Structure 1
């Protein structure tokens, strides 16, 4: 990968010992009264984040850093700041567009997320 830092998003599992391991802690907190995220949007965001992580390893360091800076703002959370999410989506889409065919899955994933959040 490019750059000096690696950022890992998503679930983190630590196993200590070999018995009594019954599940995974998601670390998500739902505020009371908050509407649950749209499952289709959650799936589209997961797909985009996975594709962006793959792309990150195939671009120059400056582009990889721009992807790293953008990923935290790409979320299915309905309360996420719209402008910041849109800026992050456009940044990742721009990088994907500049690298041609290797960026195509990311560009398509960005378009799916944009289509789903346009109604929010």
Structure 2
């Protein structure tokens, strides 16, 4: 008996609402929204950064794509951005929070440790405290 052609291809939408493309990549609305929000917040933050911090953020922006695998590979870039956002204080808080949401979507466990270094936030970035 011949196999149905429909069973050869992944469903265009899986049960979680994630769009599955024929090339095997997945992109969901939550991830796209998180990346877009983070990109907007980083652009808003850039005017208050030092030139070195701004250069790091400018270099990180092209790495922010709604691709889970690519973002997981760019963990050091995300960590650098998190550290910069944490060091600028309250003005950087929205970026740190957006990164936390993005890390959660990527499957990173964040903010669950009951004990963490006193000069680091829940995402492992330095708070700038002495």
Q: 2:97 aligns with which of 82, 105, 108?
A: 108
Instruction: Output one character per residue of 1:64-97: Cα deviation in whole Å (capped at 9) or x when no partner.
Output: 001011111122113426232x111111110000
Aligned length: 89
Task: Determine the C-alpha separation between the residues in 2 that align with 1:79 and 1:69.
Answer: 19
Task: Determine the C-alpha separation between the residues in 2 that align with 1:78 and 1:44.
Answer: 11
Give runs of ≥4 in structure 1 deviating > 6 Å: none
In structure 2, what is the equivalent of residue 48 of structure 1?
38
Task: Determine the C-alpha separation between the residues in 2 that align with 1:36 and 1:52.
Answer: 25
Task: Determine the C-alpha separation between the residues in 2 that align with 1:44 and 1:61.
Answer: 26
Task: Determine the C-alpha separation between the residues in 2 that align with 1:54 and 1:73.
Answer: 17
Aligned 1:48-87 pairs, distance under 5 A: 48-80=38-70, 82-84=72-74, 86-87=75-76
Structure 1, unpaired ranges of 5+ = 1-30
Structure 2, unpaired ranges of 5+ = 1-20, 109-130
Which of the two has higher C-alpha Rg?
Answer: 2
- Structure with larger RCO (C-alpha < 8 A, sep 6+): 1
Length-normalised TM-score, structure 2: 0.62
